[in-house]
Structure 1
């Protein structure tokens, strides 16, 4: 059996092109800046609530956040790392879904919750005190699970569990 070298090269290039196109479509479906997902727990009076959070640690990830997303599933969120602990200001510019913003101190205690934020708003939402992290989850999550200021967040960002 003999092979035509030109045909083999053409088929090889076609397969490579097809693989690259498939990879591009697969990546296009992934959330922008989806560096990693990690488990996060919030200990409330009602029990422990577990979330899967996307980390926003770089300046680009923090600037983009959940902008342009059309949905965020229950139990999912984005955790922003603001090391060192500092006064944090957020907004909802280019964010199409309403969120609960949970501001967390360096010791893992919830400082403040901004519930049901207004989509596409440029209104500044402040931590109203020093925060190490901000957890953004779908609007209504804090009320649904009874999450309150003072509750403890367990995640490596806030030290040991």
Structure 2
């Protein structure tokens, strides 16, 4: 766990104030902060492909699925080779559900809350090891600053 924490956590005052970037998803919760290098999946084709057929995912990486508006979404693990944690995120950046260790290849739908705007997929088991749960807050430039609980700096 210590190695994972060092690879992912960036719990410094300077890190909390740095500019938001499209390729970085930052989360905070009571007791922690984590940054993930992310690929963005923001159209139907990219979202359908997701992390399929990949044999690995770097520890501090993930994929951020972004939708045009909040709504119900469901994921499955068809052709996905690695276990994943799925963080379902509302328009204000709040994590509404964490699905841990989705099973590779499983076709069972994994639904999120009805107000899901984004889904962050990270390595399976990592959310629990870091302490990321419901109520954690995402900061990312794709969140509307007027709605975001932790908006990106404006300027």
Deviation at 1:156, TM superposition (A): 1.2
Q: Any unmatched runs of 5+ in structure 1?
A: 1-36
Q: CA RMSD in A?
A: 1.4
Check conservation: 1:46, 1:145, Cα contact below 8 A.
no
Give per-residue Cα distances to partners, 1:86-137, cap 9 Å, x unaligned. Answer: 1001100000000000000000000100000010010000003220000000
Q: Give secondary structure in 2 for the equivalent of 1:66.
A: coil
Q: How many residues align?
A: 126
Residue in structure 2 matching 1:51, options 17, 36, 48: 36
Tell me which protein shows more helix as a share of its residues: 1
Partner of 1:99: 84
Q: Give the Cα–Cα distance (whole angstroms) in 2 for the partners of residues 83 and 141 of structure 1.
A: 27
Partner of 2:143: 158
Q: Give the Cα–Cα distance (whole angstroms) in 1 for the partners of residues 135 and 90 of structure 2.
A: 10
> How do residues 5-154 of structure 1 correspond to structure 2 at under 5 angstroms?
38-154=23-139
TM-score, structure 1 as length reference: 0.75
Deviation at 1:72, TM superposition (A): 0.5
Check conservation: 2:70, 2:114, Cα contact below 8 A.
no
Check conservation: 1:111, 1:129, Cα contact below 8 A.
no
Deviation at 1:151, TM superposition (A): 1.0
- Higher gyration radius (CA): 1
Q: Give the Cα–Cα distance (whole angstroms) in 1 for the partners of residues 129 and 31 of structure 2.
A: 10
